[in-house]
Each structure stands twice: as structure tokens, then as C-alpha cells.
Amino acid sequence: MFKLLKKLRPIDWVLFCVIVGLTVLQVYCTMTLVDEIQNIIRSITLLNFRNNPSLIDSGAGQVAALVDALGGWDNVTAASLAAVLPAEMADMIPALLDIANATVGDIWFYGGMMLLVAFASFVAQGIIGVVAAYISASLSKTLRTEVYRKIDSFSTAEMDKFSTPSLITRTTNDVQQVQMAIVLTLRMAIAAPITAIWAIFKIQATSSELTIATAVAVVVLLVFLITLMLVVLPKFKVTQKLLDRLNGVSRENLTGIRVVRAYNAEKYQEQKFDKANGDITRVQLFTSRMMSLMSPVMMIIMNGISLAIYWLGAKLINAGTTDYATVTAFMSLASQIIMAFMMLMMMFVLLPRASVSAGRINAVLDTELSVKDPETDAELTERGTVEFDDVSFAYPDSDEPVIKHITFKAERGQTVAFIGSTGSGKSTVINLVPRFFDATEGSVKVDGADVRNIKQETLRKLIGYVPQKGVLFTGTVKENIAFGADGLPDEEIEAAAKVAEADEFIRGMEEGYDSKISQGGKNVSGGQKQRLSIARAVATKPEIFIFDDSFSALDYKTDKKVRENLKTAAEGATKLIVAQRIGTIMDADKIIVLDGGEAVGAGTHEELLKNCAVYREIALSQLSAEELGLAEAV
């Protein structure tokens, strides 16, 4: 938790000092208010005695006679009282002088002071609340930004370490938990100890008997809250993990809603959601019920201390060792102490949950990146070339490499295709080029330089990447095509769409290129998504195209037309193509056949048909021997 406080800006620390100063002022006003309450009660009591001397317990008749003999309270002085009072009543002189000096103006004065300090306390608390909210909101904004940027810098290896629902929860709910904790800390954790210490010092000088009663109440409160904390804290740690699971189930159901409906699996998905929802509900109910005990216990302790103070206070008043004003002031101070300890315990209960969230945030921020940028870019000695030099790759925590000892070079303008059975490592090979992963052995070179010596931004500007699953973003068609090229003119956007054979269906949409694309491209078909993804890559005018099975949703006619358009529009650009269909890669300059992560063949279509059994088997599974021109054709 404290580690995250390093993210506070200098202005936030200045404002923190302002909060401390205002908190001291607010506590001072609260304590002054107690004094003013005591003063106004004493003034009212003295004024009552002045107006009705018979209320004075000790020697009331003699006091009234003396006052009359002296010509009224206005003529009462220390000298006149000393002259007429019997020796045994000499100790009443100070009290009688206080009564003589009591006026209605005293009540107005102390009442005005009460209003003044109460208003000052109100203003101080209001400013503290506003400033605390500003600091916490600023910190949460910073945390969300840094977590987002960190996630944005993750390679595929780091993304696999954290689940997507967990990363979403960490960016939203966990940050919110920290924000709430910061607000409460700034508003309560500073004021509580200052109030408690100040009130304890004031209360000790009042009455030892009443102080003992207050101490007992504080001890009872502490025992209860510590017990409650020990019971509830472990459950707080479980809550965030259960929230991750609930988000995961919800996200899985929403993204796969078509498959769920197609298989009538709504009931099954509901059961999964109900279990995740029930688990988190049970934990939250338990913690809420336990926390709800705080209010009634607090009321019992507060009422108990009130009864104890008034009972003991009445005995002390009867014994003449204190007065009602002092008991009332003590009651206020005791309430302040109890509330201060209550606030501190509340913080101790709430902070652990925030600490769990802070730990989850720090886990993201402290994650070591497996793909790092070099300090300076390596010199690019070639243009449009991709070279694999004895490259092997194994996923983190995997015993076996996914690809082994792959070696080839794609020259500028060449088309190099990869084909093989499912799981043979085709996508893994091309994902090493834009550094979604780094090779565990060997080197991948682009334009003559090892990709590990090229900054990711520089490297990816050279590449136009089209993923296996077309990914579109919320916005317009135009914005999606120009996604990788800011400020692209409309003419170039349309030209890129024509290369991808997307112009016709785009113009058929309601608003053409300004038509809206929903999240994930749910309002366009799979083939349309792929064509828009291809157009997006074309629009960046890269040196190297990477097509990760990006023609699979296109019909044969559109597939052929797009590849012909690319030859003309992207002449001179190197193309790396992963494909399942032989027809897509037959014209490639070089085809690399993968089997079990190893290159078992490399050459042109004709060469591989003659000397690579794996390729021939794949080809014959899709086309007839006659179509392939094999000698075995009948």
C-alpha cells in the first residue's frame, strides 16, 4: 500500500500537509467547543443562582440576606463579602463573586464562540473532504494510467501470466479500493490519533474516576474490534480472487454467446455463473454481517459510557467535588475518544482489503517484461528482409520447444509461406518477427539487424500485421482502416480498402466509410472483418506484411483477387503468409513446411510436391492429383 504512495505528485504532498494543518485546526475547534459548552452551562447556572439565591445549597438563607444587606448582587465585592460573611463561610467568596459577575452577555458571548468554532470545524472538515477526494482521485487516475500502460507493454508471455478478467479487475475495482482507502486515511487516520491524544490529555485533568470508566470502555471496544478484524480479514483477501472468477465467467459467456445459444447451453452457463456469483455473495454476506455488528456494539459502548459517566458524575456532584458543566464536558471528551478509537479500528479493518488490492496492482506494475527495448536502435543495413538463424522457441514454463532450429531468409519483395498441420508452430514462427515473443535460441533478423536490438516501435512500423482472427475496434470503418496511420487521407483509406476487396461492401453500408463498427466488429461478418484487417495493414504501407491465416474466411475468388491486388499495390514488400489452403500459397516464392515444430521441407510449390511427403499429403487432402499436376493423375 505504502509503495503506491510514491505515485503521489509533489502537489499532492503539499495538499497532504494542508490536510494535516486543517485537521489540527478542526480538532482544536472541537476541543474548544467542549470548553465553550462547559462555559455556557456554567454561565447559565451562575445566572440562575444570581436570579434565585435560594438555589444555592450551602447557607442559602444567609446568602440571600447578605446580598440584600449589601444592596443587591451589583454591590457584592470581595471586600464587602469578607466583612459580612461569617468565618465558616469564607470559602464561598469566590463562588459568590462568580455569581455576582454573571450576566446574560456571558451566555451570548459563549454561545457566539460555540457557533464560531463549530462553523470553523465545519469549514475545515469540508475542505479536508474536498482535498482528500482530489488527492485520491488523482492517485487513482495515475494508477489506472500506469497499469494500462504496463499491460499495453506486456508481451504475450506476460498476458498469459495474468488472465484478462483479472487485469480488468486490477485496473478498475482494485484501483477503486485503493482510492477509497486513501480518502478514508486522509479524512480519518490523521484526525483520529490527534483527537484521541488531545482528548486524553484534557480528560486526565478532569476526574480520575471518570477517566477510569472511559478507559474500560476503550479497552472493551479494542478487544471487540481486534477480534472482528481477525475474523474478517482473511475473507477480504478471498473476495478479490472471487471477483476475478466472476468477471471471467461473465466475459466468457458474453464473448461466446453465439456458441452458447447454438448448443442450447444457457442453463450450463447459468449454473457456472450462479456458482461464481454464489461464492462471492456468501463471502460478502459474511463480511457484511460481521461488519454490521460494529454499529450496535458501538451504540452499546457509547450508551454504557454515558450511563457510567452520568452515574459517577451525579455521585461526584452530590459530594461537591465537581459540577454539572464539568460532567457534561467530560461526556463530550469521552465520546471524542471512543469515536477516535472507532475510526482507527475502522481503518485497520478497511486497509487490509485495500492492501490486497494494492498488492495486486503492484504485481502488475512490478512484472518484469520479457520483451525489452534496447537503449538505441541497431543500424538497419538491409531493407525488407526477414531472416531466421537456427531459431528455437519454448513458451515460459514449457519443457519442450514449440519450434526447433528454423532457418530461412526472406528477401525483399519475396512471398514466404508457412504450412503444416494444426499445432505445428506456424503462428509461433511469424509471431517472433514483431517480437510478440523473443526466440529462446538463435536470432530473428529484420533488415539485417537482430529484432532484440531494434526498439519495438521502430520494428513494428516496418510491419503490417494481420492476425488470424480479424480484430476491429469501436469506431467508424474509416478509423479502423487508419488505425495504424494517423491522419491518413480519405483517398488512401479508400485505396487500401480496394486492395483488400472491402470497398464494395463498405459503400453498401448505411453511412459508407463513416459507418459505425461495434465492439469487436460484431456487426460485420468474419470475411468482412478479415478484409478490413487486411486494409488496415495495407494502409500503413509497411516493408513487411505478416498474414497469420488471414484469408481463411474469404472465398476462393476473393482470396485470389486480394492476393493479386497485393502484388500490384504492395510491390517490393516482403510477405510472410501462414495458410491452411494450398491455393493461397501456391504462387509463393518459398514455402516452408512445418511438422512438430521443425521445418521438414522448403521450396516452391512444384519442388515440394516432388520431394516433401508432408506437403504432398496436405496438398492431396485439398486438391486432386489432376489439379496439382502430379504424374499419378489418372
**Nearest by Cα to 488 from 478, 498, 497:** 478
**Where in the chain are the domains?**
144-365, 382-453+574-627
Choice between 539 and 349, residue whose per-residue pLDDT is larger: 539
- Helix (H) / strand (E) containing 66: helix 60-69
Strands 449-450 and 516-517: unpaired
- Under CATH, which architecture does the 144-365 domain have? Up-down Bundle (1.20)
Burial (CB < 10 A; 0-12, 13-18, 19+), residue 372, is middle
Residues in Cβ contact with 476 at an 8 Å cutoff, skipping those fewer than 6 apart = 511, 513, 514, 515, 516, 517
Backbone angles phi, psi at 412, to 5 degrees: -55, 130
Question: Model confidence over 391-431: pLDDT tens digits?
Answer: 999 887 777 888 999 999 999 999 999 998 888 888 899 99
Residue listed under C-alpha cell 503468409:
577
Residue listed under C-alpha cell 520431394:
611
pTM of the model: 0.72
The Cα 547–Cα 416 span in angstroms is 10
Q: How far is CA 262 from CA 254, 389, 539, in A?
A: 14, 46, 37
pLDDT of residue 634: 39
144-365 and 382-453+574-627 share one fold: no
The Cα 48–Cα 26 span in angstroms is 33
Share the mean pLDDT of the chain. 83
Mean pLDDT of 201-226: 76
pLDDT of residue 159: 80
Residue 236 has pLDDT above 80, yes or no: no
Residue listed under C-alpha cell 511427403:
613
Q: How far is CA 96 from CA 74, 99, 108, 174, 316, in A?
A: 11, 5, 21, 65, 21
Q: Which stretch of 202-206, 224-228, 329-333 has the lowest confidence by average pLDDT?
A: 202-206
* Cβ count within 10 A of residue 470: 23
Torsion of CA 296, 297, 301, 306, to 10 degrees: 0
pLDDT of residue 304: 84
Question: Model confidence over 140-184: pLDDT tens digits?
Answer: 999 999 999 988 888 777 787 887 777 888 888 889 888 888 888
pLDDT of residue 57: 54
Backbone angles phi, psi at 527, to 5 degrees: -65, -40
Choice between 595 and 89, residue whose per-residue pLDDT is larger: 595
Select the highest-mean-pLDDT range: 217-226, 318-327, 599-608.
599-608
According to DSSP, the residues that pair with 446 across neighbouring strands are 386, 449
CATH number given to 382-453+574-627 = 3.40.50.300
Q: Which amino acid is at 485?
A: A
CB 322 within 8 A of CB 313: yes
Residue 320 has pLDDT above 80, yes or no: no
The Cα 330–Cα 323 span in angstroms is 11
Question: Please, which pLDDT band fits residue 633 given cuts at 50, 70 and 90?
Answer: very low
Choice between 426 and 72, residue whose per-residue pLDDT is larger: 426
**Nearest by Cα to 356 from 241, 247, 277, 225:** 241
Mean pLDDT of 462-479: 88
Torsion of CA 318, 319, 322, 324, to 10 degrees: 0
The Cα 550–Cα 572 span in angstroms is 20
Q: Which stretch of 39-48, 205-214, 282-291, 456-465 has the lowest confidence by average pLDDT?
A: 205-214
The Cα 328–Cα 34 span in angstroms is 9
Residue 88 has pLDDT above 60, yes or no: no
